[in-house]
Copies of this chain bind each other. A is one copy, B any other.
Amino acid sequence: MDKHLEHAGIHQNFIFETVVTYVGNGYHSHVGTFIAPMSGTYVFSATLVSFYHVSAHAQFVKNGQAVTTMYVSGAEAGYDTTSQTIVLQLQKGDDVTVQNSDTDKSFYGGSHSTFSGFLLFEDFSSPSVVGK
């Protein structure tokens, strides 16, 4: 994430411009959303850094549903870093984002906050793959 995410509203997406990631063509960096190009098992990892003396929540969201919660505890810690790595089974077209989940919060960018992901196994039993 090159730019800081400042004064973010609830459910606002993180936009990770720096793609040090391997998610095929699935990561749409203008909106900060990963859309699964095929059905399968995917691994995602995010690292978020707080603004100085700011505490804030964020979450992995799949198709609009929160999957996990992340918390940066900058209020007392100065700057705080949190990371989370998750494994998700996705159908083709499912979307995954990292969203701020509090009102008016800011996070640190500048290559400190990162998002990575990869396809682990393609699901060949899915109708979207086996077409006949």
Q: Hey, which bits of chain A sit against chain B, CB under 8 A? A: 18, 20-22, 41, 43, 45, 47, 49, 55, 66-73, 75-89, 110-112, 114, 116-118, 120
Copies of this chain present in the complex amount to 3
Taking CB atoms, residues of chain B closer than 8 Å to A118 are 41, 43, 87, 120
Decide if B22 touches A67 in the complex (CB within 8 Å): no
User: With A22-B87, A84-B114 given, can you name 12 additional A-B contacts, CB distance below 8 Å?
Assistant: A18-B68, A20-B88, A22-B120, A47-B70, A69-B110, A69-B111, A69-B112, A71-B112, A72-B81, A73-B77, A73-B80, A76-B77
A72 to B77, CA, bound (A): 10
Taking CB atoms, residues of chain B closer than 8 Å to A87 are 20-22, 116-118
Write the nearest CB–CB distance from A3 to chain B, whole angstroms: 14
Which of A21, A70, A87 has the most CB atoms of chain B within a 10 A radius of its CB?
A87
Taking CB atoms, residues of chain B closer than 8 Å to A70 are 47, 81, 112
Taking CB atoms, residues of chain B closer than 8 Å to A88 are 20, 22
